[in-house]
Structure formats: structure tokens, C-alpha cells
Amino acid sequence: MRKDSRMTRRQLLRIAGGVGVSAAGVAALAACGEAEPQIVTKEVPVEKIVVKEVPVETVVTKTEIKEVPVQTVVTQTEIKEVPVERIVTQEKVVTKEVPVERVVTREVVKEVVKEVPAMREKVKVRWQEVWADAFQPTIEEKMIPGFEAQFPYIEIVNERIEEAQMYEIYLTQIAGGDPPDVIQIQESRVPQFAVRGGIIPLDAFIGKAGLNLSEIFYAGEWPKGSWLGVQYALPLDNTGAWYLFWWNKDTFEEVGLDPDTPPTTWTELEEMALKTTVREGGEITRHGMFVPEMIKGARTDASFKGWQFPAGGHMFTEDAKQVLFDDAIGLRNVTWQLDMVEKLNDGWDNIQGYMDAVGASRTAFYNDLLTMRVEGVWFLGVMRRDAPDINAGVTHMPYDDTNPNAKPRSISDDGWSYGMPKGAQNLEEGWEWLRYLTADQGNLDFMGNLKRPSSVPKFNEDPLYQTEPLWNDLKSVLPLVEASPITPVNPDIDQLLKDEMELMMAGKQSPEETLASMAGQTRELLDEFFDSL
Amino acid sequence: MRAPRWTIGRREAVWGFVFISPWVLGFLIFSLGPMVAIIAWGFTEYDILQAPKLAGLENYIEIFTEDEKFLKSLANTAIYVGLLVPCQVVIGFLLAVLVNTKLPMAALFRAFYFLPTIMPLVVASIVWAWVLQPELGLLKFLLEDTMGIPTPRFMVDEYWSKPGIVILTVWSSIGVQMILFLAALQAVPPHLYEAAEIDGAGPLRKLIHVTIPLVSPTIFLVIIIGIINSFQVFTTAFVLTQGGPLDSTLFYVLYLWRKAFVSFEFGYASALATILFIIIMFLTALSFWVSRRLVHYEQPES
Amino acid sequence: MIATILWLGLVVFGGRSIGEQATPFGVTSGELLWTVVIAGNWVLDISGVAWMLSPRIPRWGGPRLQRRLAAVIRYELMIGISVLALIPIFWMVSTSLKTLPETYEVEPYLLLPREPQWGNYPFLFTFERFNVLQLFKNTSLMTVVNLVANVGIAAFVGYGFARLRFPGRNLLFMLVLSSLMVPFIVRIIPLFVLFSGNTYILQDQLGQVFSWTIFFESRSWAQNTYLPLVVPEFFGAAGSSALYIFIMRQYFLTIPHELIEAGRVDGASEFAIWRRIVLPQATPAMVAVAILSLQGSWGAFIEPLIFLRKVDLHTLSIWLSSFRSVQGESAIQWQYGMAGGVLVTLPVFILFLLFQRYFIAGISLSGIKG
């Protein structure tokens, strides 16, 4: 017994030692983290922007019903009926469900603020974005210093996150109550966040700063950051140019086409694509064009939307409540795409392999295995770096010449913007940085370095862009862009468009079925959403 | 005062609890809460940004009655698990037997087989995507372009997409199974082989009658871990196929991810996760039950 | 399988033309190579293994010759399989030495760089945005601490589950495994909430379910530190801890019970039995757990991405991801990404080479006689 207990004590000591060591390890690691600055908290009256949800009206309907019953008076000789008027007031209270309106006011409230005693400590603005890769010294060298020179009390903390995981990270941080102050967000996702209160309305800030959005940004750009008239995000890039037509001039010359005359109509596109196609022993060794390959990878939803506008069609009504693509133009769009795959590529099997996530179609274009393709404006910078020797041209997408109403135009229903997530700590300072990034010098620094058109027209005239020989061709496409409404169910609609288009391309359903199915499902999603409001 | 009389069994039980106590603590602090939360969210309508609204069984009713993709993704995942796990067990075991030798340079080969496992996932997925790329990939070049051997169109063919992902997963994870089997081979006592040799058993019979029974706990381990992990296949499909072509690689967790982070239906996703949890739990329990007869453990009774 | 290498060499240096020559047999040289060399080689391999395994096939020569033959066949197989395993590695190394336009050359296929760009490697250390040495330091520190925690805890807890009988043991063990069964992408939300300590948010949302996490109310302890990535490992509650516990449990189950009984008869406590008798027997399994833990924490991506948001706290995996983008709109600079991949892979490869000798303790054990 004694022996046993002694042994146990020794074991206990040993276990304790182990725990001590591990605790030391943990402490050492913790020390590597950030030391929390000494901050005194105080209650101070602060002017603050308050977002209130105010139910706008309750409707009370009063219905008065006059009832005239008959009173029977019985006298000796005769029975007289004397009508007596009785008024029954039936009060029916009809409470009309009125959408809650966000009222943004500025109020003086008492708030616990971090007050830094002696020397004024800088406010750290946490900025999360997905683009700043290792090759962009612009952020450290120009943007942040440029901003901090204007606002010496603000320190910008750049937290790069991964594009593929961006919404996981945003949602996780918002749920954990630890969101950054400024986030990069796709405009196709802004309504989705806005309708759930996940992103802060900017109207009050915009009003205070006296920004006139329609003067600063392209007309097709800034409304995409809004939902129901409230601005939630400011645009970073000119996204109108997500659908641009690129062609290889050398190949055009080689087959006897004018290298500087790209196809402008669907008929010309077909002709030129057939002319540049090379077949050897029944196999295609060079493709003219992959009509359903858009932007990059297997985005067949983009191919439907992308060709719908040059076909002369629309996606939705202005208020996004009605589907408009369910018509002859939509049918023409899908039928034509299917036809082209058969005619130009001998079937979907031959091009499906290029619709992948690693960019096989780009590689094919660089290696003269593909002559023409559609990709967004970022392709300019990418191409210059990946294949500096390629002699390519850029123009708008060809339009459907069989439709008299069709003209060169393209859809814009996505893009990149900056907003402030729910729960952001430093709204005022965050807003300054957001404004600098989108409406000010920061936008030019960032976009100019990437050679991507800015959301601000005047920046696109900057000499920074003029080094690029194709710049003016590219800029001429920007005015052809039309915004298409974005709804909070946008991601689901994209997914179903993609699935249905893929089914059609694989021969599992006819164009008519495809269009009907797409329209039906989209309507269902939209109706379900608008009913839930 | 008398010390309490502990029976041997009682003493062993107390020691048992002492040994597992770190895990019990960790489970209560770190694992239980999230699991309870996910199960609870399964009964709500929750989008992470707003407070959850109680929805009763609505999510489950929708999953089981209306959701076609639920069944599709579950079937995809089951096929994938059925293809992958046997490959992992057989190839992993054979590899371990092959490199379990003292021949010079064998160490290098062991390291080579483990190399694909330690390649960072970010790099590995891109490299493999390019190797298996159906039009411009390295495999197609090596086999079809130079040799005229037809290569399956991995990743883009409806029927080859799952085998493509299986090949890739075996390729990138077989090092793990090899290590587990290598460790297990060390526990086989040499005297058993000597005894078998005296009985006149050849190498094949030694393999079947001595080695396999003695590493059966590890075979069991590899199967269970394989089932648990491959039911949750996500990254490969997410990076390489995004569920396509024609939803043939829409695996369960990928579908769940779409629900959670594309459609913002986290309540629904939690319900899906709970169902997955129950399925995996059931299969694991079933395997444990089956293994009682098939797995050889060094234990006095049971 | 040696033939596979020869053929690969031909392809690498000869290019596409190797397979396109006409031959007197009416097929192209590629098809001939395929059928004769590769298929023939496989037939030889398989018959060689069959010869080794089956006692029925007649033997010739002395045992010395047989041992040599067996060794030759084993080498042949090992080399051949390593070719398969190394194709992606070869691709990674080759790409890391190319120029960017070269990485896109597929017509004809450029398997090797025209001129190796050794400068790609030093270039990685010139970024101002990422201090690569700092990243190496961060990652190794995290990896080492996790490794110690995982091996220790798995060996301790695993023994409890393997060799000590107590009520509810099997049920509790299912609970251990259960933590592996919830997909990480779902678990991450409550986990982050737990670590960011803002439990009041969940209390709002979920009533009292989470109120016990009030312990974590001190907000700063898990903010931008390695704690969320390290502390659960010390309690067997991290992502793959259950796997390690399982590995150790299965291994302990194969240790002869006579050893443990002998210890008990001698009056040693269970702790002493574990420490003195069981652990020394379990070295291979502990090394396996160590290697898996090393590989897991070294390559951890999504957890660091979510918990560590300051660039100077980042780990190597996050750094590597900054060379690519899934949507592909911004830069993918393959050559640097792959060079980074080589740099990140190399230390683990070397460590593995050092560790793996624990796997060949007793060699006469193996199923196939070597």
C-alpha cells in the first residue's frame, strides 16, 4: 500500500511536469502573438451613425357596418313594424406588412470608446482583400503610405485572404464577432449580404462626404453595389468588361484574314472560326472558337448570360422580379451555342476538356491551338505576362445579325467592390479607407498596376494605362456595357443556369427544355425570395 | 481508518479514466459545443448573418422529400468511398510489404512514396490538375500523344471523373497508409515466422496466415479512417471539378458547402451535416461490430 | 518497370517524334514500344513476384542466388513505382526552373526548361510582403509543438482505450471518433466563435446552449495567436487528434498481453506499465503518428487562414496560396509557386528520411522474404 502511494505521487509529479512543459510551450506560442496594447475604456458622448430598423406604417382599416334590424311593436289592433336604426361598428384592424425601412441617422450616443491616454494611438483599420498576391508591391509602396500621409491617425492592416475561401472567412468572422473593417466583395453577392444585414449601408457616409456617385463612377458600376436603393458597397473595377472578345492576329494573317478586322456579327464569327480551324485526319488540331467557354473554366452560366445581351435579349426586368430571357431571343441564344459547338468543334466532347479550373483554354490560346475566345479584361495583364509574344486584339462580343434589334452590347451583373461587414469596429476610419480605395487615388494605384479598367472613368485616362497598346481598343468597349439586375438569390440562379446549360451541351435535353427549365427554376427562386420579403 | 478496498477491476477502471481524462477534458471544452451547435442549427433556419429561427423538422423534411441533389450527392460519395477505400487498403499494404526491407537505398524509396503526401495541397492540386488535364495534360501527352495509347478523359467525362479523383487521392495519400502498415509490420513477432517456417510454410502462406492476421488491427484502422475521411471528400472536387461534369463529382460535403456558403442556408447545411454524421457513425459502428470476429487482437478475453 | 524509366527518358529527350516513327510491323514506334517494352516488363515483374511467393515453382541455384534474384525483383518494383509517385514531383521541380511563358508551352510539350532558371529560388526571398524566413520559423514552431502534443496525448489516451477496461469504454471511443465525422467547413463556424470568445453572439442566437463557453470571455487570448491551432492538440481535441489516438489504440492492441500482465503481477502501477513496458514497444506507431502530425501541421491551410490573419503570423501554406488564384483573374506565376512548393516540401522530405529508419527495426519479419 505504501509503496503504491509513493509511486503514485511520483507519477503525479511527472504528469504535473508534463503539463508544465506543455503550458510553457503554449505560453511561448502565445507570446509570439500580438501583445494587446494598454487601452483605457471610457464612456464618452460620440457622434455615431445609427442604423435603425423602423417599421414604416401600420394600416388600420375601420369598417362601419350599419345594421337596420326590424323591431316589432305589438299593439292591440295592429302589428306595426317600426324600423330602428342600430349602428354596429365593426373594427377590423388590418396590419399591413410593410417592409422595414432602414433609417440611417446620426445621433449623439454615449458609447464606450477606446481612449488612448498619452500619445494618440493609431486606429488600426483591418482590410481584407483577395487580390494582393506576392507580386504586388503597390500596396506597401504606394497605396498605404499615400493614404496614411493623408490620415496620419489611421494605420492600415492588410490581411490577404484566399479568394476560394473568402465567404467562409467573412461569415466565420462575422459570426465570431470579429470582422475586419473593410472587405472586398463581389457585387453579385452584395444584395445577398445586404438583405441579411451582413453589410453596413454607406448612404450616411456618402452623404457626409458629399460624394456624388454618378459623377465619380461609371453609370453601370455603382448601382451594382446597392440593394433597394441603399448603397452598400463602392465599385473597384469596371466590370462591364467581363465579356471581351480576343483574337489571335497572327493566326488571322496566316489563314488570309485581315488581322485587324475581328468578327462583329455571329455570321462573321462562324465564317472566321471555320476558316481558322485546322483539321488533320478527322481531328481538330486548332480550334477557331469555343462559343460556350467564357471568362474561365466551366462557367456555362456565364456563357448563357454573356451571349444573351449580344443576341439582343435581357435577363430580368429592372426590378429583377420578372424573368425576361424566356423568349425567342433566349431560345436563339441557346440553340446557336449548341449549333456552334457542333459546327466549329465537332461536338461538346472536344471542348469540354478545355472548360476546366486550371485555365486550359488560355493555354490553348497561347499555343495557337485556339484562335478566338471570350474572357474578361483581366486577361490583358495575364496574357502580357504569360505569353508576351502573342499578337492579340480585343474588341466587343459579336452580336446576332439575324435579330434586327441586336447590337454590340454586353452584360454586367458582377464585379468587385469594397464594403464594411456587420460588426466592423472602426466605421469612420474604415470608411475613409474604403473611399480612398474606390473613389480616390487608391483605386488608380491598384487597378492601374494590374492594367484593369477602373470604376472611375477619369482614372482610365491616366498615363499609367497608356503603356498598353491595346488600351484604347479595350476602353472603347466599356460604354457598350449595360447593367443587369442582381438579386440576393443570384448565386443560386448562376448555379442552375450552369447545370442546365451543361445538360444541354451533353445532349441530355433539348434547347427548348433547357430554356423552359432555366426560366421555371429562376422564377421559382425569385418568387420565393420576393414573397419572403 | 482503512483504505478503501479496490478490486483489480475497479483499480483498472479508475486508471482507465485517468488515461483518457485529457481527451475527456478536450472533448467537453472544444468538441462537444460545436457538435451540439451544429445539431441544434439543423432544426433552424439560419444564415449565419442573422439569428436562427426555429424551423422544427422543416430542413429534414425538405432534404428527404424534395432535395434531388441530396440523393445524387450521397450516391456519388458512396461510389467514391467504395472505389477508394479498397484501393487504399490493398495498395497501401502491398507497398508497405514491398519497402519493408533492409536492402540499401530502400529508405530512399520509402521517402519517394511518401513524397506526394507531403506536397503542399495547394501545389499538389494544381500539379495533379495539370497532369490529368484531358486535353493538354502530361498524362495525355505521355500516353496518347507519344505512344498512341488512348487515355481516359479524367475529370471531364461523366464516368471517368470519379475514378480520376480516386486515382489522384490514392496517389496523394497512399504514403499515409504505407506508414501505418509499416508500423504494424514491426509489431509482428519474429518467432511466429520462424515457427511457420519450421512448419514448412512458404512466403505466400506466411503472408496470408501470419502477417495479415497480425496486421488486421491496422487494416481495420485504415478502413475506418478511409470511410470517415472519404465520406467527407471536398478539396479535390472543389479545386478540380467544382462538382461537374453533370454533377458526377458533386460530393456530399461539396453540396453542403454550396448550401452553406453559396446559398447561405447554414441551417440546412447543418441538417445535412447531421445526417452525414449519423451515416458515418452507423458505418463505423457496423465495422466495429463486424471486426469483432475478423480482427485479431492481443487481448486475454473478448 | 526499369523499362518505364527508359521510355520516360526517351520521351523527355526525344519528344513527340519518338512515338511517330514507322516500323516494319505496320504499327507506329510508339505502339511497338508500349506493347513490347512496357507490357513485357510488367509480365516479367508479375511472374517474378509469383516466383518469389510460390513454393511450387521450381527453384534453381543456391539460396544466395535466390536472395539476389529476389532483391533484383524488389528493386525493379520499387524503382518502377517510384516513377509513378514522382511524376508530379518531377513536374513541380521542372516547372520551378522555367520562365513563365515556358510554363505555358504545350505545343510541343516542354518537359524540361530550355535553360534552368535557378534565379527563381532566390527570388522567393525578396518579397517585401512576405518574410519567408519568418514564415518558416512560424510554421516549424507550430509543427514542433503540435508534434510533441499529438504524440504524447495519443500514446497516453490511446493506451487507456486499448488496454484498460472501464465501463462505457466502447461508447466513449465512438465519441473520440465522432469528432472526425463532422465536416470541417461546418465545424469552423462554432469553433471560431468559441475561440474568438464572443459567446454573447451565440447566446443571443441559441439561448443557453453556448453559455458555458463563458470561460473564454477574455477576448484577446485567441486573437491572432497560435493558441487555437495548438491548445486543442494538447487535449486530443484538434482536427486529427482522434486519428492519432485511434492509431495508437490499434497498435497497443497488438502488444502481447503477457507483457502487461507480467507488469501487473510485479505490482507496477498502470502508469509505470505504460511508461516502462508499453511505450518502448510502441516506437513504430509513435513515429508514424509523429510523421503524420508533422505532415498535417506543416501543410495546414484552412485553420491558419482563418485564425491567423496577420501576414507576419502566417504559415507557409498560406504563402504558397498567394501564387495562385482559383478564379484565375489575378496572377498565377507557376514557376514561383512551384519553387515555393519545392522549398516547402524539402524539409519534411529530409525529416522523413531521418525518421523512417524506425520502420525497419526487424527486417526478417516481412511477409516477402528479403
Give chain A's count of helices (H) and strands (E).
Answer: 20, 20
Structural domain that includes position B76: 68-294
- How far is it, in rounded angstroms, from Cα C328 to Cα A295? 10
Chosen for mutation from C181, C214, C245, C316 (greatest number of chain B CBs closer than 10 Å) is C181
For B98-131, write each residue's pLDDT tens digit: 888 878 888 888 888 888 888 877 778 778 877 8
- Neighbour order of strands in the sheet with A244-248: A278-280, A283-289, A370-375, A244-248, A392-395
Say yes or no: A220 and A127 in one domain.
Answer: yes
Handedness of CA A211, A472, A479, A232 (dihedral sign): negative
Q: Which of A433, A439, A454 is nearest to A182 (CA)?
A: A433
pLDDT score recorded for residue C334: 79
Q: What is the DSSP string of A202-255?
A: -HHHHHHHT--HHHHS-TTTGGGGEETTEE-EEE-B-GGGGSEEEEEHHHHHHT
C-alpha to C-alpha distance for C109 and A129, rounded to whole angstroms: 36
Cell of residue A311, nine digits:
443576341
Q: Which residues contact A330 (CB under 8 A, 6 or more apart)?
A: A308, A311, A313, A515, A519
Separation CA A125–CA A157 (nearest Å): 6
Residues A349 and A276 in one domain: yes
Q: Report yes or no: B195 at the C interface, CB cutoff 8 Å.
A: no
CA distance C185 to chain B (A): 7
Which ipTM value was assigned to this complex? Answer: 0.86
- Helical segments of C220-282, H only: 227-234, 241-252, 257-265, 270-272, 279-281
Hey, are the CB atoms on C367 and B98 less than 8 Å from each other? no
Structural domain that includes position A107 = 50-111
Residue A375: phi, psi to the nearest 5?
Answer: -150, 165
Q: C-alpha cell of A471?
A: 488600351
Confidence of residue C111 (pLDDT cuts 50, 70, 90): confident
**Residues C94, C97: Cα–Cα separation, whole Å:** 5
State pLDDT tens for residues A269-324: 998 998 888 888 778 888 888 888 876 555 677 888 888 888 888 888 888 888 88
Q: Cα dist. A132→A160, A238, B118, C187 in Å?
A: 7, 18, 27, 28
CA-to-CA distance for A326 and C31, rounded, in angstroms?
Answer: 52
What is the pLDDT at residue A118? 44
For A144-158, letters b (16+ CB in 10 Å) and e give beebeeebeebbbeb
**Domain residue limits, chain C:** 2-117, 126-365
Domain termination site, one of A92, A111, A130: A111
pLDDT grade, residue C198 (50/70/90)?
Answer: low
Q: For cell 480516386, what's the residue?
A: B166
Quote the number of domains for chain A. Answer: 3
Residues of chain A with confidence (pLDDT) below 70? 1-120, 132-136, 240-241, 295-299, 357-358
Nearest Cα to Cα of residue B264 among A11, A529, C270: A529
Distance from CA of C139 to the nearest CA of A (A): 11
Q: Contact, C293 vs C229, CB < 8 A? A: no
Q: Say if C335 is an interface residue toward chain A (CB within 8 Å).
A: no
pLDDT at A407: 87
**CB distance A178–C196 less than 8 Å?**
yes
Task: Check pLDDT > 50 for residue B294.
Answer: yes
Average pLDDT score over chain B: 84
Are A169 and A231 in the same domain?
yes
Length, in residues, of chain A: 533
Tens digit of pLDDT for each residue in B206-216? Answer: 888 888 888 88
- Residue B200 burial (C-beta neighbours within 10 Å; 0-12, 13-18, 19+): exposed
Q: pLDDT band at residue C61, thresholds of 50, 70 and 90?
A: low
Q: Is A482 helix (H, G, I), strand (E, B) or coil?
A: strand
CB C50 within 8 A of CB C57: yes
Residue A478 confidence (pLDDT): 82
pLDDT at residue C348 above 80?
A: yes
Q: What is the CATH number of the domain that holds A263?
A: 3.40.190.10
Residues of A in contact with C188 (CB under 8 A): 168, 172
C62-82 pLDDT tens trace: 677 777 777 887 887 888 788
Give, as one character, the DSSP assignment of residue C360.
G
* Three cell numbers, residue C176: 473520440
In a domain, A524, yes or no: yes
B88 pLDDT higher than 90: yes
Exposure string over A302-340, b if 16+ CB within 10 A, otherwise e: bbbbbbbbbbbbbbbeeebeebbbbeebbbbbbbbbbeb
Q: Does some domain include residue B13?
A: no
Q: Which residues of B touch A354 (CB under 8 A)?
A: 135
Best CA proximity match to C328, nearest among A391, B129, B285, A317: B129
Contact C223 A178 (CB under 8 A): yes
- Per mean pLDDT, which range of A123-132, B41-50, C44-53 is the poorest? C44-53
pLDDT in tens, C206-251: 443 443 443 444 444 455 667 777 777 777 777 788 889 998 988 8
- 3-class SS at C342? helix
CB-based contacts of B40: which residues, under 8 Å, 6+ apart? B270, C206, C209
For C58-81, letters b (16+ CB in 10 Å) and e give eeeeeeeeeeebbeebbbbbbbbb
In whole angstroms, give the CA distance from residue C139 to residue C136: 5
Tell me the CA distances in angstroms from A526 to A267, A317, A480, one per residue in order. Answer: 35, 12, 27
What superfamily would CATH give domain C126-365?
MetI-like (1.10.3720.10)
**pLDDT for residue C71:** 80
Q: What secondary structure letter does DSSP report for A459?
A: G
Q: How confident is the model at residue C27 (pLDDT cuts 50, 70, 90)?
A: low
Peptide bond into A292 cis (omega under 30): no
Using the beta-carbon criterion (under 8 Å), do B119 and C89 form an inter-chain contact? yes
pLDDT tens-digit map of B143-166:
777 666 777 777 778 888 888 889
pLDDT at res. C55: 63
pLDDT of residue B80 exceeding 90: yes
Between the alpha carbon of residue A528 and those of residues A257, A326, A532, C347, the distances in Å are 51, 18, 6, 54
Helix, strand, or coil here: A183? strand
Q: Which of B224, A163, B176, B240 is nearest to C296 (CA)?
A: B176
Cα–Cα distance list, C7 to A63, C24, C37, C84 (Å):
93, 20, 8, 13
Under the banding of pLDDT at 50, 70 and 90, the label for residue C298 is confident
- The answer to whether the CB of A518 falls within 8 A of the CB of A500 is yes
What is the number of domains present in chain B?
1
Nearest to B244 among A164, A196, A298 (CB): A298
pLDDT tier for residue C30 given thresholds of 50, 70 and 90: low
Residue B173 maps to which CATH number? 1.10.3720.10
Given a cut of 70, is residue C332 above it in pLDDT? no
**What residue type is B256 in one-letter code?**
L
Average pLDDT, chain C: 75
Spatial distance between the Cα atoms of B248 and B154, rounded to a whole number of angstroms: 12
- Does an H or E element contain A468, and which? none
Contact B211 C31 (CB under 8 A): no
Query: Quick one: pLDDT at residue A33?
Result: 40
Q: Which chains touch A (3 or more CB pairs under 8 A)?
A: B, C
Hunting for cell 440553340 — which residue is that? A335
Assess contact for A61 and A123: CB atoms under 8 A. Answer: no
CB A410 within 8 A of CB A481: yes
Mean pLDDT of B56-70: 89
Which residues make beta-bridge pairs with A87?
A: A66
| pLDDT on residue A117 | 44
Is the separation of the CB atoms in B180 and C284 below 8 Å?
A: no
Inspect the interface and report whether the beta carbons of C368 and B202 lie closer than 8 Å.
no
Q: Three cell numbers at C209?
A: 446552449
The confidence band for C264, taking pLDDT boundaries of 50, 70 and 90, is confident
Hey, which residues does A411 pair with through a beta bridge?
A: A482
Contact residues for C228 (Cβ-Cβ < 8 A; gap 6+): C191, C195, C222, C303, C307
Chain C residues whose CB is inside 8 A of the A451 CB are: none
Residues 332-361 of A with CB under 8 A from B: 349, 352-358, 360
User: Do the domain assignments include residue A232?
Assistant: yes
For position C3, what pLDDT does the model report? 59
Chain C partners of A177 at a C-beta cutoff of 8 Å? 193, 196, 198, 200-201
Quote the pLDDT of residue B74: 93
Per-residue pLDDT, C69: 77
Q: B177: exposed, middle or buried (C-beta count within 10 Å: 0-12, 13-18, 19+)?
A: buried
Domain assignment present for residue A3? The answer is no
Residue A433 covered by a domain: yes
Nearest CA in chain C to A5: C269
Cα separation of C343 and C312, whole Å? Answer: 18
- Whether A5 is in a domain gets the answer no
CB atoms within 10 A of CB A386: 22
Q: What is the CA radius of gyration of chain B?
A: 24
Instruction: For residue C206, give every residue at least 6 positions away whose Cβ sits within 8 Å of its Cβ, in sequence order, or none.
Output: B37, B40, B41, B52
Partner-chain residue, chosen from A33, A137, A180, that has the shortest CB–CB distance to C225? A33
Angstrom distances, CA of residue A116 to CA of A37, A38, B246:
9, 8, 58
Q: How far is A306 from chain C (nearest CA, A)?
A: 17
Most confident of A485-499, B77-91, C10-24, C163-177: B77-91
- Cβ atoms within 10 Å, residue A44: 10
Contact B261 A196 (CB under 8 A): no
Work out the number of other CB atoms within 10 angstroms of the CB of residue A89: 9
CB contact (8 A) between residue A126 and residue C309: yes
CA pair distance C164, C252, nearest whole angstrom: 11
pLDDT tens column, B235-277: 888 877 777 788 888 999 999 998 888 888 888 999 999 999 9
Q: Are A424 and A430 in contact (CB under 8 A)?
A: yes
Residues of B in contact with C191 (CB under 8 A): 30, 34
Cross-chain CB nearest to A171 (options B130, B244, B261):
B261
Listed by number, the residues of chain B in 115-174 with a beta carbon closer than 8 Å to a beta carbon of chain C are 115-124, 126-128, 130-131, 136, 138, 141-142, 145-149, 171
